[in-house]
Amino acid sequence: MKSKEETLRNIRKKHAFIIDMDGVIYHGNVLLPGAAQFVDWLKRQNKRFLFLTNSSERSPEELSQKMARLGIDVGPGHFYSSALATAAFLANQKPNGSAYVIGEPGLIHALYRVGYTMNNINPDYVVVGEASSYNLDTLIKAVRLVIGGAKLVGTNPDLTGPGEGGLVPACGALVAPIELATGRKAYFVGKPIPS
């Protein structure tokens, strides 16, 4: 078993870091102890780093602003979300397609950026991410569209995620009722799924 000092020596040798955000850097709007110091160290040492998040709610610009509010100054180029991964995946599967989206602006904007349009009549895909707008009406619409032929895609398979007050339902939990009602399995894009 490696000693703590040997582990730290190995970390210091690394040139690049991929860092999870939710539950690692912060819980909701609460910065976790040591996060700011770690990011400061990365910047002082000129390490390359990328924050990954399965949350599809925010754009890289919004994630950068959130981190700034928490006291960490990091530009938008240091963030990659499940919304961006989902948009890239869909653009590769069907360029300039359409989607019915249950999700927040970060997901919708990522889809627009790759040439997707929003469509609640006959979309190519029903795309589900974390969404405060999730309700019975959106669920019914999604079920009917999937039964009608739209493919079901989730931004990530997480059933729960960390919030300030404890666990909250995440994308996998929001997709489950659609899968159960339609008998169709969703394709999930976010980590740890290799896309």
* Catalytic residue ranges: 20, 22
Q: C-alpha distances in angstroms, 91 versus 6, 15, 54, 108, 194?
A: 44, 31, 19, 13, 16
Strand stretches in 64-171, DSSP E = 79-81, 98-102, 117-118, 125-128, 151-154, 160-163, 166-169
Return d(Cα 87, Cα 47) in angstroms, integer.
Answer: 28
- Nearest-CA neighbor of 97 among 124, 129, 121? 124
Q: What is the 3-state composition of the chain as percent helix, strand, coil, each rounded to the nearest 5?
A: 40, 25, 35
Output the CA angle 86-138-61, nearest 5 degrees: 40
The answer to whether the peptide bond before residue 192 is cis (omega within 30 degrees of 0) is: yes
